[in-house]
Amino acid sequence: MTDCIFCRIAAGELPANIAYEDEDVIAFHDLEPQAPTHVLVIPRQHLSTLLDADTGHTLLLGKLQLAAIEIARQLSLDKEGFRVVTNCLAGAGQSVFHVHVHLLGGRAFSWPPG
Ligand code: 5GP
Ligand code: ZN
């Protein structure tokens, strides 16, 4: 989708600070980090929200989680802990409509989230 900023980042058309990439997944640092580490993990395939996923996306959704975990290890978040979260729809805070996993770390996190 040419009007989707995350598709354009995945295609290399827009710049991003890449943290990880493979054939299915790409991850890059958030433009407005909400923690010392804030990485977005996205599928190369465009899905607007989690609600667009079905059983055909089982492997892909698993790859997003595993990529986030691997990046957390690489960035040394595996001792203090980290948060992995996906916002679905505007009511939950989603602002970019290309599915992404937020990987947040480097500070304490409260629960319940705001
Ligand atoms: P959401 O609000 O949809 O859960 O998360 C979208 C995230 O994308 C936000 O944290 C926002 O700062 C980030 N973001 C929006 N546009 C860009 C961009 O062009 N580049 C990068 N690296 N992050 C972006
Ligand atoms: Zn997209």
18 lines ligand 1 (CB under 6 A): no
Say which of 38, 57, 98, 100 is annotated catalytic: 100
112 located within any domain: no
Strand order from edge to edge, sheet including 25-29: 18-21, 25-29, 37-43, 101-105, 82-85
| pTM greater than the 0.85 cutoff | yes
In this structure, what CATH number is given to the domain that contains residue 66?
A: 3.30.428.10
Domain count, the chain: 1
In testing the pocket of ligand 1, which one of 20, 29, 32 has its CB within 8 Å of the most ligand atoms? 32
Kindly indicate the confidence band of residue 2, based on its pLDDT and cuts at 50, 70 and 90.
Answer: confident
pLDDT for position 1: 65
Give me the chain's average pLDDT, please.
Answer: 97
Total residue count of the chain as it appears in this document: 114
Where residue 114 falls among pLDDT bands split at 50, 70, 90?
A: confident
Domain that holds residue 19: 5-24+34-105
pLDDT tens readout for residues 10-41? 999 999 999 999 999 999 999 999 999 999 99
